[in-house]
Chain A
Amino acid sequence: MTIRAMRRGGAASLLALLAAGAVSAQTVSDRGLSYTLYGTPGLIETPSALSAKDGQIAATVGAFDGQTRTTFTFQLLPNLSGSFRYTRIEDYTLPGQSVRDETYFDRSFDLRYRFNDETATMPAVAIGLQDFLGTGAYSAEYLVATKTFGDTLRVSAGLGWGRLGSHGGFDNPLGVLSSDFDTRPGLDFGEGGTFALDQLFRGDAALFGGVEYAPSETLTLKVEYSSDAYDRESELGLIERDSPLNFGAVYRPLPGVQLGASWLYGSEMALTGTFLIDPTERPYGPGLDPAPVPVRVRDADARAAQSWDRTAIPEATIGAALQQALAAEGVELSSIQLSDRAVRLRYTNTRYRSEAQAMGRIARMLSLGLPASIEQFTLEPMQRGVPLSAVTLSRSDIENFADVAGGTAALAQRRVLDDAGSAAGLAELPRIDDRFSWGIAPYGRITVFDSDAPFQLELGAQLTASYEITDSLVASGTFRQQLYTNREDPELVVAEEGEPHPVRRNAALYAKEGTTGIRDLTLAHYGRLAPDVYTRATLGYLEEMYGGASTEVLWKPADSRLGLGAEVNYAKQRDFDLGLGFQDYDVVTGHASAYYDFDNRFYGQVDVGRYLAGDWGATFILDREFENGWSVGGYFTLTDLPFEAFGEGSFDKGIRVSIPLDYVVGQPTRREASSTLASLQRDGGARLRVDGRLYEVVRDGHLNDLDDGWGRFWK
């Protein structure tokens, strides 16, 4: 075997701090990166100016003497990272609060921006905000520079404010700009969760820094000088801070895993574990998809044919045979239109995440089986019985571009994308797939961030069933049996003076009383009013806590970046036992929504309207989506409900992650796993949770999603 992989420096270097090879400016920033106790790239407690690889997610648990910090850091952009942290500190209270013998839980959020790539002479420089939302117990700001020397040594030095300006502090140099910078106002955290703008870069500043040394590719040794005085913790007697020096080591036993130990402040032993996930690297490579059928290339005479002999091959025979053949690809063919030179298909792809991949498989089958005179293939993918778009391909292009370098791109250029055509001319095929489907699966629910019960777990089994009355009219339901929970008995929450009706706060009661029950039971109809206008109506027990009727309309042309929608719902609160009964509370809720697909892989959404508690306001959502289906994003909702009435967190906000299941298992599947790390779900800004909102259903077949998956056309 004479394959010699000549990896360039930085190509495979999550592992090694400065692995062998030239140190190039572009790759140095994410090489040999390790994480702090705060879960951010850096030394032990203090940050460095480095960024992880674009898109990377790092989950870090760091613990020492009564403090546990669990942090997710996402590299939002090559230069910008965000961290979300959940902290547990025994016997802690915020400055100014009375000392209580309780465990303190807190969420915090950081941002870091790196200005430049490190070069041979210039260090990388970054600015960061630590815990600038929330209650601010960890709040600090910093400017930091990091320079790498040779293959094994890296030095960071910075200027910190807030916590990072509390040891060895001096007058704030920003005081020359304005005397406002000289003092840092006391924490006025209220209900927490708001920007503490009047604190940023205020008060004393101090210097911090440290050195990292990598004796091997799997080990990094660190020493740092921390400018965090741990004032409050010392005051409460939680930590003995004898020294500003911290010493640590990080070991990487496997790619994507970092284990660290350190000796903090001359008195504390700390441990960290970091797990890295890179959405751009699939564990199973491009996917274990079974091989497709090959393309058949017609010869010149056959290509020239203008018609085909319908007595030899009746149209009905082709329709039925194609339907059967496509079923093996997980494609349900609903209707077909045949002419001498063209074919149009409407189908539902039930297997491939990428509609483009399903199209590639269908196009190959058509090239193999259809009469030679048929030159034009128009494919109209459907979801939930609604056609999403029409992609027209020429059969000659399919023949010419299969297995040809540049063929994927050339086909993308030559395909014609349009709105799906009208139903006229299409011959309906009798359904051969099962209208009824069902399944039993385990379910689990984890509720965190509740300060009274920070980790609640519920496990059980659920039976789901659906019956397709027609392609676009579906009855479905989910029945749940709870098998285990560590919840303690929740109390009924009743609205106090000035508080909204508890539209979500009684979630725990549903878990307690609804141990056997109906999670949802609905009749849903999808339709298309006009080529660009889609509708949905859902009736029944819409979600765990609400039943009623939900209606939605969406305008979204197949090739447009913009979508506009409106949703109106009547919702009535369900009984806690998840039976058929309802409570007294009901509300009309709904939103006008705008969806925008930015061309840099960011998707934005704004919903304006009335929420479940009757409050009016708007939700802002921004997601970064990867071509392979991963999505990471955040949202917040501001309504006319005052922060005090909202309670802890001041307003609803959170981050959300969606992982396509084919990424995890390697086999083609349309399923995905989604999770939302919300701040505590309270009553302000709460939305109805309806399955199958139109935008998510429709966009798979539209321009950008098609383009994202186009690389899989020939897979």
Chain B
Amino acid sequence: MTMRIRLTGALTALALLAGCGGGDGLGAALQGGLASLTGTGGAAASAAAAPAGTAADPATLRRVELATIGIVGTAQQLTASGGRQTFAGPEGFTYTLHDGMLVSTRGLSHDLMAADTRQSRAALRAGGGEALRVHETLDGLDRIVRSEFACTITARGAETIEIGNRQKEARRFDENCRGEGVIFDNHYWIDGSGRIVSSRQFVNLSVAYLRSSDL
């Protein structure tokens, strides 16, 4: 499978919106007027305020890896709102985490269009349990295909993991999911505050797993 994704189109547009292009336009409005007016500009504006090339707030960066298709690098947070964070990874792809759970990818051709991971997240909070997970993908006829997975979440105890260059103590959980024709295993590392600081989560059969960690 070839995976050439160009940083064009939408992300160029985003750069424009985010004001990388110059003082005029919606980008400026977004950083200034629009953001302050809406009162929520924080996320978008912070992404905007840290254009590529300048030192970004480490809290908005992730290390991301899609081993199967050979994408590894740093992802920059684009927006964070409504509990969802969207990151732009290398080669123009983006992914969205909802409370740390992978709910979509874009720009990978075989994208995860959407996911319902609420039960899995609740089971992680509860220290383990059963969960039903739903993934949506796009088929050759542009129809949304819904796949359901029955998952078991199991606590694996504390582990010391490397986040950025630091060693960090985190609780590991494994999620074993079984659906029609597919079995996969997700891993999560959760810190003392209950936040997912590192994970390996299933995208689909073509892309396999996405690893995303704090930096």
Contact = CB atoms under 8 A, between A and B. Distances in A.
A280 B141 CA distance: 6
Interface residues of A, number: 76
B62 to A, nearest CB: 14
A604 interface: no
A666 interface: yes
A402 B96 CA distance: 10
28 contacts: A1-B209, A2-B184, A5-B205, A280-B141, A284-B109, A285-B140, A286-B111, A288-B4, A289-B9, A291-B88, A293-B14, A294-B96, A296-B79, A297-B83, A299-B81, A309-B37, A320-B24, A321-B26, A365-B13, A369-B26, A372-B37, A372-B38, A399-B82, A403-B84, A403-B96, A406-B116, A628-B140, A710-B142
Interface stretch (A220-228, A255-263, A323-331, A340-348): A323-331
A608 to B, nearest CB: 33
Interface string B80-110: 0111101010001110101000011011011
Interface of B is mostly: mixed
Contact of A321 (B4, B25, B134, B185): B25
B192 interface: no
Pick from B36, B134, B144 the residue with the most CB of A within 10 Å. Answer: B144
A667 B138 CA distance: 15
A288 B5 contact: yes
Nearest to B68: A1
Contacts of B104: 402-403, 714
Interface stretch (B39-47, B51-59, B120-128, B154-162): B39-47
A328 B114 contact: no
A288 B88 contact: no
B170 interface: no
Interface of A is mostly: loop
A329 B183 contact: no
Given A286-B138, A299-B40, A626-B141, A324 B25 contact: yes
Contact of B103 (A289, A318, A403): A403
B109 A2 contact: no
Contacts of B206: 285
Given A312-B37, A408-B136, A708 B142 contact: yes
B49 interface: no
Contact of A715 (B111, B140, B182): B111
Given A286-B138, A318-B29, A628-B141, A298 B5 contact: no
Nearest to B7: A290
B142 A354 contact: yes
Contacts of A294: 78-79, 84, 86, 94, 96
Contacts of B98: 403
A236 to B, nearest CB: 47
B140 A282 contact: yes
Contact of B115 (A6, A281, A403): A403
Nearest to A708: B142
A291 B94 contact: yes
Contacts of A404: 103, 114, 116
A122 B173 CA distance: 51
A244 interface: no
Contacts of A296: 40, 43-44, 79, 81
A278 B25 CA distance: 45
B140 A281 contact: yes
A365 B14 CA distance: 8
Contacts of A320: 24-25
A405 B134 contact: yes
B13 A321 contact: no
Interface residues of B, number: 75
B92 to A, nearest CB: 6
Pick from B7, B17, B183 the residue with the most CB of A within 10 Å. Answer: B17
Contacts of A370: 34
B20 to A, nearest CB: 12
Interface string A295-325: 1111101100100110011000110111011
B135 interface: yes
A313 B142 contact: no
A292 interface: yes
Given A312-B37, A628-B141, A289 B84 contact: no
Contacts of B96: 294, 403
B166 interface: no
B113 interface: yes
Contacts of A313: 29, 33-34, 37
Nearest to A305: B38
A431 interface: no
B83 to A, nearest CB: 8
A409 B39 contact: no
Given A371-B38, A372-B37, 5 more contacts: A1-B208, A4-B182, A5-B182, A286-B137, A301-B39
A338 interface: no
Contact of A2 (B10, B36, B185): B185
Contact of A627 (B37, B143, B208): B143
Contact of B141 (A285, A289, A308, A627): A627
B160 to A, nearest CB: 24
B17 A369 contact: yes
A587 interface: no
A574 interface: no
B168 interface: no
A321 B29 contact: yes
B109 A286 contact: yes
B47 to A, nearest CB: 10
A5 to B, nearest CB: 6
B190 interface: no
A527 interface: no
B30 interface: yes
A711 interface: yes
A290 B93 CA distance: 7
A711 B144 contact: yes
A711 B139 CA distance: 9
